[in-house]
Amino acid sequence: MHNTTDTAKTERNSQAPGTVNPLGKSGGGPIFFKKGLPGLGKSRHFILQIIESNPFFYYLRSMEEEEVGLILVDPFPCFPGYNLELPEAEQKELELEKEEDVLVFTTVTILGENKMTTNLAAPIIINAKKRVAKQIILAERIEQMRTPLPLS
């Protein structure tokens, strides 16, 4: 996964949204966040589930605190030009070896019946093979923290 610029460019997740859970049936087991997630207490182990009533969305649920979780979306179908580069340090921390193992999600905030935003500045990166994950901050995208989700 390493290249001459010591970054890996990610432009899409490998699965079509809502077709199958990208981590396998029923999320395929826990995902481990070594440093946890900002604002979610001491939770480190999570399960990724498809929201069946809207298969573009996923629910990342804490295994330690069942009432704790986040709604996620695959940003690539909603924002075709979205891409990010993972520095080598992030790749090492996530134990990434192949680009095919990288899954990218962004958090969703529901602001009302017909208004939602997603945080394109702080994606959640998952190593689907090793089941480790991290939320990273993309300082160059800070103005995209509350990007409206297209609902049509």
Residues 30 and 21: their CA atoms lie apart, in Å, by 13
Residue 27: DSSP 8-state: G
Whether 32 is covered by a domain: the verdict is yes
* Distance between CA atoms of residues 126 and 64, nearest Å: 19
Q: Assess if residue 138 is contained within a domain.
A: yes
Q: Tally the domains of the chain.
A: 1
Per-residue pLDDT at 134: 96
Domain that holds residue 132: 7-148
Which of 132, 95, 125 is CA-nearest to residue 107?
A: 125
pLDDT at 12: 53
User: Domain of 109: which CATH number?
Assistant: 2.30.290.10
* Dist CA 42 CA 151 (whole Å): 33
Residue 2 maps to a domain: no
pLDDT for the residue numbered 66: 85
Residue type, 68: V
The verdict on residue 1 lying in a domain is no
The model carries a pTM of 0.83
Predicted pLDDT of residue 8: 54
Question: What are the mean pLDDT values of the chain's consecutive 10-residue runs (152 residues total)?
Answer: 45 50 61 91 91 87 92 94 90 92 95 92 95 94 93 70
In a domain, 21, yes or no: yes
